[in-house]
A and B are shown apart, each in its own frame.
Chain A
């Protein structure tokens, strides 16, 4: 049962990400990213990371994907932009990616991992993650909040300057 659900989520992650990489229509790529993000959220939940799964749905699907689709639609001007590199470059990129993928598969398949999860099943993780964020990882947590603030101000500043420059 668990393996069936795992296979469903893996297919749900992998097939749309092929579409993201290969589709010539950028709108189709953006919408298939939705299924990839959702599949990854399902994999997180299967790994016992319920809080991360929910965060993935809220931030990636609710935030980042909406921003990306917004950007796609802002920059289209009536026709769908199917921009990608010419064929020789594409073949070179495919060969490079295939080599790296083969190396990764080889390394993963040959290594001796601790393969079985321990018998202990994880319960809800939100409380423990909150403890870690405000205890052991307090400094990185504050740094991340500062980074988000700076990104907010920086994004506003960049767009505002470009609007001013057009005047």
Chain B
């Protein structure tokens, strides 16, 4: 693969679509979380690639995209902690992590 922006964008769009496929087809709640992580990685890769190749790199501070990726990673960490807490809490009540079984808001 040549070292240019197109290669990185193709990789991240493939990563995004695989993540979306995972989210759409898994019924295992933790499998869906994995798909979300793939999508967030694709987004972070896009930010860093544009920060490397974009016009801002020529003009001065080339790091805004990298800072955005840091925020994406921090939000992903918060998201996965809360999501796993919810999944484990549902598991302790319903004894399953099949999302097709999660129908009621209270029980």
Contacts and interface: CB of A to CB of B under 8 A. Distances in A.
Interface of A: 2-3, 6-7, 10, 13-14, 17-18, 20-21, 26, 29-30, 33, 36-37, 40, 43-44, 46-49, 51-52, 55-56, 59-60, 63-64, 67-68, 70-72, 74-75, 77, 81, 83-85, 89-90, 93-94, 96-98, 100-101, 104-105, 108-109, 113-118, 120, 122, 125, 128-129, 132-133, 137, 140, 144, 147-148, 150-152, 154-156, 158-159, 161-163, 165-166
Which of B24, B53, B70, B78 has the largest number of chain A CB atoms within 10 A?
B70
Q: Chain B: interface secondary structure?
A: helix
Contacts of A118: 57-58
Contact of A115 (B10, B53, B85): B53
Interface residues of B, number: 77
A115 B5 contact: yes
Interface of B: 1-11, 13-22, 24-28, 30-31, 33-35, 37-38, 41, 44-45, 48-49, 51-55, 57-58, 61-64, 66-67, 69-71, 73-82, 84-93, 95, 97-98
Nearest to A116: B4
B14 A40 contact: no
Given A21-B22, A77-B95, 18 more contacts: A20-B38, A47-B49, A52-B70, A56-B44, A56-B73, A68-B84, A75-B88, A81-B28, A93-B24, A100-B20, A114-B53, A128-B61, A128-B63, A132-B61, A133-B67, A152-B81, A162-B89, A162-B93
Nearest to A33: B34
A47 B62 CA distance: 12
Contact of B71 (A104, A140, A165): A140
A32 to B, nearest CB: 9
Given A83-B31, A108-B10, A114 B26 contact: no
21 contacts: A6-B7, A13-B15, A21-B19, A21-B25, A33-B37, A36-B41, A49-B52, A49-B69, A52-B66, A68-B34, A68-B80, A68-B84, A72-B30, A84-B27, A90-B25, A97-B18, A97-B20, A100-B17, A109-B10, A117-B52, A156-B85
Contacts of B44: 40, 44, 52, 56
> Which has the most chain A C-beta neighbours within 10 Å: B3, B20, B58, B85?
B85
A21 B21 contact: yes
B15 A60 contact: no
Contacts of A161: 89
A162 B93 CA distance: 7
A14 B48 contact: no
